[in-house]
């Protein structure tokens, strides 16, 4: 008998090259006075905004890095009186997470901190969020289809989540053309994050038939596409990575993550390094640590499947797959955690926080803090 499972997804997902052309009509169907949340390097944002002929853009909000609590609180206070009835997030994961927060909190009479995990009370949202459309311009986090928003709380030196099913958007519009010619370093970091987010749900203790189908399709596809993009621009590889990122968001929303993301949250708060870069640097050692620690036959088999896909993608024996993967990551511009600001004195603090992180709860085996520390040291 198949195991029971439930799924959380946005109201609608639209995927395809060129389909951003639908944004104007779809936005106009949801609202008339829009807040646009976007990134520092908007790419085709100007062209996209010009297409919104039937929506009045009453405010824009630029997000330069992972959203900070103070920045979001100030933006919420500024926008509450503007009559905004629609939020569009057009950018990377940080942009889309910020758009989720704005859509959730503009109609609310409560304060943002009361809804945050770990540092707040973790209360459910108390008001119906505004209509929300998310449009990714990188292929990494899959945030367009997840039910959480990661927020940096500087005073606590922690990255924590606002988590609620209401954060799922009305529309996730994924047009791979918006990722074309993304800078090489951003492509590497975000691509490794996307791959991590289909690997960890496949290992997860909460995996199910739906997420397994997504991950089995996406893992080998993502490895090959990212290899191609490190050699040169390819619209076929961009399309593939956009699909992998989307599948990763759906998979993590429905089965959870693991040790790599468990470490990445607290470590990112301590050192300020980009989330995708941390995940990419940690991934080979994280896979190895789980392979050495799991005892259940099914968990070992799943990890061996992933190692086999890595071996096939890099054309090496399975026994050398993880080492080769690590070397490839280094050769393509991510030498390790030390290169992005991680120091030895970050490791113990990050390991202690990681052991209790929400992402760690779905890891296939409980890892002691010594093992978590070792994952970081092997990734320096």
Q: What is the largest CA-CA distance in the chain?
A: 61
DSSP characters over 176-194: GGGGTT--HHHHHHHHHHH
DSSP characters over 16-45: -TTGGGGHHHHHHTT-SEEEEEEESS-TTH
- pLDDT tens sequence across 291-343: 999 999 999 999 999 999 999 999 999 999 999 999 999 999 999 999 999 99
Question: How far is it, in rounded angstroms, from Cα 197 to Cα 194?
Answer: 5
List beta partners, residue 37.
61, 89
Q: Which token pair is 76?
A: 């919420």
Length of the chain: 380
- pLDDT tens sequence across 1-25: 456 777 888 889 999 999 999 999 9
Query: Is there a contact between 186 and 245 (Cβ–Cβ < 8 Å)?
Result: no
User: Quick count: other Cβ atoms within 10 Å of Cβ 232?
Assistant: 8
Confidence of residue 43 (pLDDT cuts 50, 70, 90): low
Instruction: Give the DSSP letter of residue 118.
Output: T
Does position 184 have pLDDT exceeding 60, yes or no? yes
Which of 153, 152, 251 lies closest to 209 in space, CA to CA? 251
């Amino acid at each position: 008998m198949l195991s029971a499972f439930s799924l959380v997804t946005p109201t609608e997902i639209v995927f395809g090259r060129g389909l951003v052309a639908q944004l104007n009509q779809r936005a106009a169907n949801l609202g008339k006075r829009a807040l646009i949340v976007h990134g520092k390097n908007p790419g085709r944002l100007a062209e996209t905004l010009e297409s919104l002929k039937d929506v009045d853009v009453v405010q824009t909000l630029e997000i330069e890095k992972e959203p900070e609590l103070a920045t979001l609180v100030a933006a919420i206070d500024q926008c509450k009186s503007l009559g905004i009835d629609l939020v569009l997030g057009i950018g990377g994961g940080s942009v889309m997470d910020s758009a989720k927060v704005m859509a959730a909190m503009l109609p609310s009479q409560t304060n943002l901190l009361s809804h945050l995990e770990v540092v707040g009370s973790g209360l459910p949202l108390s008001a119906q969020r505004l209509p929300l459309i998310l449009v990714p311009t990188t292929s990494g986090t899959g945030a367009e289809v997840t039910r959480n928003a990661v927020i940096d709380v500087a005073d606590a030196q922690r990255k924590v989540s606002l988590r609620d099913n209401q954060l799922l958007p009305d529309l996730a519009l994924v047009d791979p053309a918006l990722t074309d010619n993304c800078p090489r370093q951003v492509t590497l970091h975000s691509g490794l994050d996307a791959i991590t987010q289909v690997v960890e749900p496949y290992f997860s203790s909460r995996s199910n038939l739906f997420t397994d189908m997504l991950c089995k399709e996406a893992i080998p596809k993502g490895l090959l596409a990212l290899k191609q993009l490190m050699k040169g621009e390819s619209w076929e590889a961009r399309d593939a990575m956009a699909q992998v990122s989307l599948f990763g968001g759906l998979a993590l929303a429905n089965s959870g993550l693991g040790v790599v993301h468990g470490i990445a949250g607290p470590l990112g708060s301590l050192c300020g390094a980009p989330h995708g870069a941390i995940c990419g640097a940690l991934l080979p050692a994280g896979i190895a640590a789980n392979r050495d620690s799991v005892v259940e036959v099914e968990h070992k088999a799943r990890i061996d499947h992933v190692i086999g896909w890595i071996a096939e993608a890099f054309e090496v024996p399975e026994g050398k797959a993880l080492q080769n993967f690590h070397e490839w990551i280094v050769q393509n511009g991510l030498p390790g955690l030390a290169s992005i600001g991680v120091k030895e004195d970050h490791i113990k603090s990050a390991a202690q926080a990681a052991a209790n992180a929400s992402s760690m709860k779905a890891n296939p085996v409980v890892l002691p803090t010594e093992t978590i520390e070792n994952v970081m040291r092997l990734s320096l």
